Amino acid sequence: MQPNHSESNSTPSRWPVSEMLARGTFGTRTPAELRLILRGKIVGALILGWLLVGIITHMHPKPLMGVITLFLPAALYTYYALEKRKYFLSLDELPRRIELEGMAWAYSVGVLATLWLGAIGYVVSLQWPLDPKLLAWVPFFLFGAFLASVKGAYRYFASRRY
């Protein structure tokens, strides 16, 4: 079969959309990426298990278990973040640039969102006092998810440019 040399004109770069949005990777199937996907599945399964246990026990574990279960998602995500760093270092220069730009955007938007939401939250709490227990930990999880969404969205749109 003859190689297709004219592919540059007709075929855009286009990393697989499903991989980018679902897994946050570029879908190039490198060993580093496959390793990250496997580790991500394991971490995801453990966090899901943690959530199920929390729901089943109505989030009223004994004090020691409470501390362990509260720190479990953070510990698991720390491990995943280290794995993600290894994957990031394995990327070639264009995907790495897209990732870096995504991180920069997520940081800037995150700071902006913190300032706005903090101010709005304070004003709202003056009128309708919120449960301090809820305020203690829910915003952190939501904020983490928000930052990941910003970076994911940037990664997707930036990759369409190339």
Partner 1 sequence: MRNDLRVLRARHNLTQAELAERVGVTRQTINAIETEKYDPSLPLAFKIAAVFGQRIEEIFFAENGSKVPGQPR
Binding site for partner 1 (CB under 8 A): 3-9, 11-15, 26, 28, 92-95, 161-162
Separation of alpha carbons 155 and 90, rounded Å: 17
* C-beta of 3 vs 63, nearer to partner 1: 3
Residues 6+ apart with CB under 8 A from 98: 154, 155, 158, 159, 162
Nearest-approach distance from CB 102 to partner 1, in angstroms? 16
* C-beta of 7 vs 131, nearer to partner 1: 7
Nearest-approach distance from CB 104 to partner 1, in angstroms? 17
* C-beta of 4 vs 127, nearer to partner 1: 4
Secondary structure in 3-state letters for 20-64: HHHCCCCCCCCHHHHHHHHHHHHHHHHHHHHHHHHHHCCCCCCHH
Nearest-approach distance from CB 28 to partner 1, in angstroms? 5
* C-beta of 93 vs 131, nearer to partner 1: 93
How many C-beta atoms surround the C-beta of residue 136 within 10 A?
9
Nearest-approach distance from CB 99 to partner 1, in angstroms? 13
Q: DSSP class of residue 96? A: H
Contact yes or no for 103/151 (Cβ under 8 A): yes
Nearest-approach distance from CB 8 to partner 1, in angstroms? 4
* C-beta of 92 vs 148, nearer to partner 1: 92
